[in-house]
Structure 1
Amino acid sequence: MRVLVTGGAGYIGSVVAARLLEAGSEVVVVDDLSTGHRDAVPDGCAFVEGCIRDRAPEVLGAGRIDAVLHFAARSVVAESVARPELYWAGNVGASLALLDAVRAADVRRIVFSSTAAVYGEPDGVPIREDAPVRPANPYGASKAAIDAALAEHARMHGIGAVSLRYFNVAGAQGPRGERHTTETHLIPIVLQVARGLRGSVAIHGTDYPTPDGTCVRDYIHVTDLADAHLRALEACAPGSHRVFNLGNGAGFSVREVIEVCREVTGHPIPAAVAPRRAGDPAVLVASADRARAELGWEPRIPALRDIVADAWAFHTAHEDRNGQGARVRAPGMSGSGTA
């Protein structure tokens, strides 16, 4: 199988590209490197630099692409609130252009990296696929719009499409891990404190109706997520758009994450209590029952300690890469309490 991976120089896309190579596929990566890293693209992949609006149609038009895995997207919630036009153009507009190219090239399978953020603040947890879609920010809204476009393309043009919705991805696969210029995810922020790049991590709210008063979130290891994408690729059925939530099924609180990071790193990791952030639900956990039943998927690395240990091994191995040895300056000294 020859697969196009958009955003394959990014965190999740690069790990999935590596797994595809291991499974015997030919892989073409298209990435503009705006947030990805050229050295994350696995050896053995053909690499095309540029935006998917321009380069994906070229790759697809050349023929011999059997399927698409679509990761390329903007994904920072705060940025989406401040500049929603970037998300409508960069996520929705670019994805619609990709779908046009997919249809023109008669590619019959596409797997989309969606998000459980499409559900907004849920009525109950764990969140099932039949929960109402009501995103609370432009990022989630852009992903929901792409999900809807996929459903219409499947119905009208016979494409087999799968959307995978998940919350927090963490861990690493060898040399491929989480590297963001502006970090907003809890585990790498806490590990930055352990590495001396931040002074402390902020805990936004300690009075939530949870066992320790802090927000609870679902975490999934990036290699488990990659496995789900390969299974989803095989599950694409002509004329069908299928949706699967992915998660551990049990969440971890902010305090639990910080404490496990302390244990793994051996560093004290100072934490400071900060006010709640508007719109932060107490608990966000995804139900993966459908993925288990229909894809045969099961997380193989569900333990938070193992997830953190892999992330820590990656970050310490890349301590001096891209200027990471410099201390993060104020006002970014306090991290996000939830991811």
Structure 2
Amino acid sequence: ERTEKHLIILLDEPTSVLEQRDIEILFARVRALKRRASFVFVSHRLDEILALSDRIYVMKDGRVVGHMEAGSTTVPQLHQLMVGRDRHAEYYRESRQRPPREEIVMEARDLSVTGTYRKVDFVLHRGEVLGIAGVVGSGREELTRTLFGFVPQSSGTLLIDGHEVRLTVPSQAADHGVGYIPRERRTEGLVLSLPLAVNVTLSKLPTSRITGAIRLSREIQLAKSWVDKLHIRTPGVEALCLNLSGGNQQKVVLAKWMNARAHILILDHPTRGLDVGAKEEVYELIRDLSEEGVSIILTADTLEETIGLCHSILVMRDGKVTARFDASPGRKPSQVDLIQHMV
């Protein structure tokens, strides 16, 4: 809008859903407008904060814990202020990565969706974290949505626990023990206007065997147990999910599927929009789940995250699998290794 007044523009996590090229365009526009506008830029991406800002305020638990000129600090220093400890080699908990078990829980053979991806093969073992890497349009997003019944397969074979299945709706996937943590947790993963206890039990309601009525006391008991197990920070299980932080909302979505006893979890950008401290908690939970025998298919926000968390990685380009990598400790591929098969 054209105006003679000096503008104040608030940017609240504007890059969380943008590709790198779009981020660069946004930053160029911000720099061009700085002659007649001031900006407040809120972001959990510390490198972007340093690249765009003149001054930085760091907040933790509702309080300002640091204030400095952008040129006088570094990403590790900001990380330390935000989480109270240094970012170190164990950021992705690689020392806790154990070999997956031999049992195969999901297998795809020549799986295809017309116009999207074709002839995808993979096996997923119990306790394995399988990463799928690729740029927008590679087919990786559509593949994960096929595995949860959002996008029916056109051809090929999908097996869960050794049984051939053809998923046409998400409820079928859930019946086979598959859970889905969506990237848009606020609109697809939760009912924000309902209490935490209700959200946790949505996928498996505790009902009376005689009347079929929902047992509210059992619902509250279950919710409290998951709050304790996943360290969900909340005033109580009656609190509305709308009022929880992003990290705690993500834990509620996870609790929903663990309560339903899902043994295969599809994690679609599980750390998107989370601050560095909340991300570390998600990484810890992924390791916990893997050790418990839960199998995970991960599409991550960054290649660094994919490499750090996964046992094995599929790379997709133009709807085809172009490479497979062993990502066990000591054999992790580099980002360059992945990129050369992505573009």
The alignment's TM-score, normalised by the length of structure 2, stands at: 0.24
Which structure shows the higher strand fraction?
A: 2
The alignment's TM-score, normalised by the length of structure 1, stands at: 0.24
